[in-house]
Amino acid sequence: MAIIHRTTLKPTKLELLTTWLPTRPWYVGQGTPELTKAGGFRLDDPAGEVGIEFMVAMDTSGPHPTAYLVPLTYRGAPLPGAEAALIGTMEHGVLGPRWAYDGCHDPVSAAQLLALIEGRTQAQAQSTSDTPDREVTRSYTGDGPLPTIASAKDDEEGTELLAQDGTPLRLRRVLRPATAVPPQGAFGHVIGAWNLPDGSRTRGLFMSVGA
């Protein structure tokens, strides 16, 4: 299980995302985001080397607050060949230098996401060690295990991950409240929860498989 350290990060995750989010094609804001952490969950790396977090970042800079789903991985050294996926570097008060990547382009994160969808691993609480996140639900009704993720591509709707057999997995980057129903034709999904600016809690679709 991943250990959550109570320490400092310089710069913080949200400071890195404030610069990075506006560079994404799915970012719907008009300027510099004003971000708060609204929710999310973690996944464990079986090797214990890579931190994996699926963060929900709430942007309140515009007239309509927008929740973004941002998979992140944290590494103790650069990931070879992943320069385009680098969000930034941080200094961790316990672990030292950390390289933060868009988790959609990190093979460790992608493999554990497939394990979550298939029910081979469980979502963990975002800020508490060794605690399952019961709000994250998943389903998979496909025939056999999903092949390894072969590619990831951002577009205006989010991020499409393609498995080696061509199966599409659609990551919802802009989250919609009260949409905890997978789209027609999907045979797998992940649903999670986050906080709204008024303090209420909502649920929505994070990812679907096949649609």
pTM of the model: 0.93
Residue 1 lies in a domain: no
Mean local confidence (pLDDT), 41-69: 95
- The pLDDT tens digits of the residues spanning 150-196 come to 999 999 989 999 999 999 999 999 999 988 888 888 999 999 999 99
First to last CA, the chain: 32
**Count of domains in the chain?**
1
Alpha helices, H only, the chain: 13-20, 107-118
Q: Does the residue 4 lie in any domain? A: no
Q: What is the mean pLDDT of the chain?
A: 92
Q: Is pLDDT at 37 greater than 80 in this prediction?
A: yes
Top pLDDT among 113 and 3 is at: 113
Tell me the C-alpha distance between 25 and 113, whole Å: 22
Q: How far apart are CA 42 and CA 180, in angstroms?
A: 19
pLDDT at residue 31, rounded to an integer: 87
Question: What is 13-68 written as a DSSP string?
Answer: HHHHHHHHGGGSTT---SS---EEEEEEEEE--TTS--EEEEEEEEE-SSSS-EEE
Tell whether 106 is covered by a domain: yes
CA distances from 204 to 55, 103, 135 (A): 14, 20, 11
Residue 79 near residue 106 (C-beta atoms within 8 A): yes
Question: Pick the residue with more confidence: 96 or 103?
Answer: 103
In the numeric block, the tokens 């205006």 are attached to 156
pLDDT score, position 182? 85
User: Which amino acid is residue 133, in one-letter code?
Assistant: D
Q: How confident is the model at residue 2, as a pLDDT? A: 58
Domain that holds residue 124: 9-209
